[in-house]
């Protein structure tokens, strides 16, 4: 390297990108999701500025759980303290809380405001946008039955982002810190998007409950029914993960075993009509999945559809 080239190298600024500074986080409505996000971000070096919303005792417990931050004197004070504000009260309270904070001039110009509801778009935060805040939905596609569970399940979760483009860099930084995957996603139909989540998460619980009931009726003691079915449930999820859909489908409908399905229907006959109909309606849908898999012969598909259609 010549003397002149060494001088140029010293004069040129480093091209290495410096990590973005970590924004101060405020949480309003610190339930399962908001508290878990704040704690995980705190563990990754994000400053927690303030927590507010709900009864003083619940706020105190949330601050203890997060391990940082302080209970703000008001919702507006909490919002004003944060560069990024998570509005995570129950869904029905998101807009009223946002409007109240905006009316009290709590949102700072240029701050980022997220809600985490899958059922609603960013329009719930319009009053924050009117205060020149950047707003968006940041929804984790995961089921959280408690705060500790949320801590475990946040990592690896997919987060859908829908809102102001100016809020996306903050979303990317936060989701990366949480160990998640960000999907920039603007659903044409938010209700259908949320319904899809509920079908898998909530209705799977309903199906598990029905399966446990049928298992008990078959003679398995109640204390063993759920425990015995859990490995089957885990195996099914693993099949979906490794084989994908529709190839993860197994069982009598996938095999075209009309006789076994007929025996199921006979065994279900003494049970309430809603259970029989649910079995048959799910069976009809499963016939279509089996056809997509390509393993079901046309005459078996027709026989199963006819059999299940009689009780659907």
C-alpha 100/C-alpha 131 separation (Å) is: 12
Q: Which tokens sit at 180?
A: 């998640």
CA 198 to chain centre: 10
Between these two residues, 127 and 2, which has the higher pLDDT value?
Answer: 127
Contact 104, 126 (CB under 8 A): no
pLDDT band at 13 (very low <50, low <70, confident <90, very high): very low
C-alpha 86/C-alpha 156 separation (Å) is: 20
| 5 pLDDT higher than 60 | no
C-alpha 91/C-alpha 157 separation (Å) is: 20
* pLDDT value for 184: 85
Radius of gyration of the chain (CA): 26
* pLDDT value for 295: 83
Q: Show the CA angle centred on residue 125, arms to residues 200 and 198, nearest 5°.
A: 5
* pLDDT value for 127: 98
* Fold of the CATH domain 193-309: 1.10.1040
pLDDT single digits (tens) 45-88: 999 999 999 899 999 999 999 999 999 999 999 999 999 999 99
pLDDT single digits (tens) 107-158: 999 999 999 999 999 999 999 999 999 999 999 999 887 788 888 888 889 9
**Lowest model confidence (mean pLDDT) among 104-108, 141-145, 280-284:** 141-145
Buried b (16+ CB within 10 A) or exposed e, 152-161: eebeebebbb
Residue linked to tokens 């399905």: 261
C-alpha 143/C-alpha 152 separation (Å) is: 11
Residue linked to tokens 């504000």: 85
Q: Mean pLDDT in the chain?
A: 92
Residue linked to tokens 């878990």: 36
Q: What is the mean pLDDT of residues 157-165?
A: 95
Q: Please enumerate in sequence order all residues whose Cβ is within 8 A of that of 121, keeping only pairs 6 or more positions apart, or say none.
A: 137, 162, 163, 190
Contact 80, 106 (CB under 8 A): yes
pLDDT single digits (tens) 170-209: 999 999 999 999 998 888 888 999 999 999 999 999 999 9
C-alpha 274/C-alpha 151 separation (Å) is: 37
* pLDDT value for 9: 47
pLDDT single digits (tens) 205-234: 999 999 999 999 999 988 899 899 999 999
* Fold of the CATH domain 25-186: Rossmann fold (3.40.50)
Domains 25-186 and 193-309 share a fold: no
* pLDDT value for 149: 81
* pLDDT value for 1: 52
Q: Residue 139 forms beta bridges with which residues?
A: 160
3-state SS assignment for residue 233 = helix
Q: In what order do the strands lie in the sheet with 25-28?
A: 48-52, 25-28, 84-87, 112-115, 134-140, 158-163, 181-184
Burial of 205 (0-12, 13-18, 19+ CB in 10 A): exposed
State the DSSP string of 216-231: HHTT--HHHHHHHHHH
Termini Cα distance of the chain: 82
Q: Which tokens sit at 84?
A: 């990024």
pLDDT single digits (tens) 26-52: 999 999 999 999 999 999 999 999 999
* pLDDT value for 2: 56
| 15 pLDDT higher than 70 | no
Domain boundary assignment for the chain: 25-186, 193-309
Q: Please enumerate in sequence order all residues whose Cβ is within 8 A of that of 48, keeping only pairs 6 or more positions apart, or say none.
A: 24, 25, 26, 27, 38, 41, 42, 66, 68, 69
Q: Which tokens sit at 39?
A: 């704690």
CA 148 to chain centre: 15
Phi, psi at 303, each rounded to 5°: -65, -40
pLDDT band at 244 (very low <50, low <70, confident <90, very high): very high
Contact 302, 258 (CB under 8 A): no
pTM over 0.75: yes
* pLDDT value for 11: 47
pLDDT band at 4 (very low <50, low <70, confident <90, very high): low
């Amino acid at each position: 390297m010549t003397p002149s080239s060494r001088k140029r190298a010293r004069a040129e600024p480093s091209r290495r990108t410096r990590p973005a500074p970590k924004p101060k986080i405020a949480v309003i409505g610190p339930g399962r999701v908001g508290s878990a996000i704040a704690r995980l971000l705190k563990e990754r070096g994000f400053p927690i500025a303030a927590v507010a919303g709900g009864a003083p005792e619940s706020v105190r417990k949330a601050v203890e759980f997060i391990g940082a931050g302080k209970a703000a004197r008001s919702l507006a004070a909490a919002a004003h303290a944060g560069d990024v504000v998570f509005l995570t009260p129950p869904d029905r309270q998101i807009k009223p809380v946002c409007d109240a904070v905006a009316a009290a001039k709590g949102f700072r110009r240029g701050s980022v405001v997220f809600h985490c509801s899958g059922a609603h778009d960013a329009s719930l935060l319009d009053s924050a946008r009117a205060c020149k805040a950047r707003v968006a939905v940041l929804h984790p596609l995961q089921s959280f039955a408690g705060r500790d569970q949320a801590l475990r399940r946040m990592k690896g979760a997919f987060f859908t982002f829908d809102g102001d483009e100016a809020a996306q860099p903050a979303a990317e930084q936060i989701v990366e810190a949480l160990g998640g995957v960000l999907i920039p996603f603007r659903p044409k139909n938010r209700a259908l998007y949320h319904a899809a989540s509920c079908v898998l998460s909530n209705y799977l619980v309903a199906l598990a409950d029905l399966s446990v009931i049928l298992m008990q009726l078959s003679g398995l003691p109640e204390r063993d029914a759920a425990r015995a079915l859990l490995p089957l449930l885990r195996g099914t999820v693993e099949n979906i993960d490794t084989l994908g859909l529709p190839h993860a489908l197994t069982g009598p409908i996938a095999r075209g075993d009309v006789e076994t399905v007929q025996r199921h229907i006979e065994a279900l006959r003494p049970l309430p009509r809603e259970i029989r109909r649910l079995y048959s309606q799910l069976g009809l849908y499963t016939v279509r999945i089996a056809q997509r898999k390509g393993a079901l012969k046309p005459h078996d598909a027709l026989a199963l559809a006819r059999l299940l259609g009689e009780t659907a």
